[in-house]
Structure 1
Amino acid sequence: MKLYIEKAIFVLMTLANYINDLLYRYDCVIVPNFGGFVTNTIGARVNTTTHTFYPPKKQLTFNAYLQHNDGLLANYIASDKNISFEEATTFIASEVEEWNKNLKTTSVEVASVGSLALNEAGQVVFEPNLTSNFLTASFGLAEVKTTSVERVKEVTIKSLPTTKENRKTIPLYLKRTAAAAVFVGIAYVGWNGVQKQQQQVLANQEKAVEKKIQSATFVIENPLPTINLNVSKEAKNFHIIAGAFQDVHNAENKLTELEDKGYDASIVGKNRLGLTQVAFASYATKDEARKALEIIKESVSEDAWLLVK
């Protein structure tokens, strides 16, 4: 039993690490049939209360309505594990099932992305990890805290009328007034000096960070293999047919149903009987199509068949 639990945690963290890695490159990573992790870049900011400067970063949110399989996560997993797209999709579905099971009793940690939990209404609540910064442009930048500088209030000196009674006190008053003026001048010069010194320190830090960014090599625990999603379109002549419909509206409903389930479905035209054919997916080679057909027949529909067109 202990071995099974340890194995489940390892697999869970593997999926979490895949999501963690992709967030460095993409603004949105969708986990099919679960939800999407969305980033929003925010600029540098300053907390005037704590006198702390924060670098730009990617602000993380979770959207439970983003469940359509866009292929990004599955393609990445398939490339990294050297498996087919369908096997990667099955792997994700298995882990999502495990996540949902764990969420009923505890929270789920998603690597350094954050944690997931259920609220009283049974909705998934995401708590981002505030120490993580997925904005690669901010690599090496850290929070900077400075000491506060108090402004010295201006001193207004009023002239005293010269009388017999206060003639003797004027020299002492003038001495005190002169001393106060000197003190104000020193304080003002000192404040200007501190301000210029802080500006110089910040400027030096920015220059040092720029040099680090220019020469830095980003090392991710799980190296990202090169993924080129914008490839030239291959001719996909092998189609796994899910059904043929006389009513075009019914065919479109079937297409939407398959897409919601994560399939790269499409309408492949009409057959000789004039029925509109809907495919689970289409492939460029017969071997790929046969492998996918076997999986679909075993787990989805025994009536699925292969069309070569």
Structure 2
Amino acid sequence: MTIANYINDLLYRYDCVIVPDFGGFITNRIGAKINTENHSFYPPTKQLMFNSHLKHNDGLLANYIASSENISFEKAATAISLCVIKWKNELQSSSIHIDNIGMLSLNEEKQLVFEPNTANNYLTASFGLASFESSSISRATNSKLVVPILQKEEKKGVPAFIKYAATAAILLTLGFVSYNGYDNYQEEQHFANQQKALEKKIQTATFVISNPLPTLELNVSKEISKPFHVVAGAFQYVENAEKKVKELKAKGYDSKIIGTNKWGLTQVSFNSYSNRYKATNELYKIQDTVSKDAWLLIK
């Protein structure tokens, strides 16, 4: 059983995959880019990061392994724990390579350093799109226009009666066109005058309603979506969850019940945020000062 394969599968579907007691792999969407120096075009992608503080077991990885391998949740969790122990032992002496995900190593301060595999794009919307280079387009400057010179044709004699007939036809045509143009102009002017008169009547008209309806004042508050929740715990009984909410509100947190998980446990949050980075920063503060078991839920 290769844990890396299951992490790789989940990164296509979720923004965060946590390996219990080890850390979390987080994806962040980046739009298409253009490198003007080498004329390279890059499709939208998901930037992969690693956060060693996200160690709480949210059950996502273990549940996916259990359903894929057709084994119990406990066996899947045990397999993850064994893999984490192996990774930690290898990190003491060398770096470890996680297939299709990236490289992990320890720096001089014994902190984990992650180098993602940029060749793998976890954004499903960009499936089949690859980066490419385009040749530069050079535009000519101070170009000279070459104007062809037409050679004059030799003049040929034209009978006089043909000249007079052509002149008469041209004069008749010009007169007919001038008359039609003048007639059309008169019609357009008449229509424009009627249009202006109608607009003037509409502007000066006064509408009186004897029994007007009363005006209604509606106070509409736009609710901002807050999908990032710093979870304080999950409780089997709703009474315990409500008690926890009151306790956290007394400490100044905007605590609330955010629903139940797939195991039927009622989840309670410290706070909820619309921004991932604010939620992550608050999570670190809470883990350092209030509860190490706090974790981030994205709904």
Normalising by structure 1, we get a TM-score of: 0.46
Structure of higher CA gyration radius:
2
Q: Which has the higher contact order (CA 8 A, sep 6+)?
A: 1
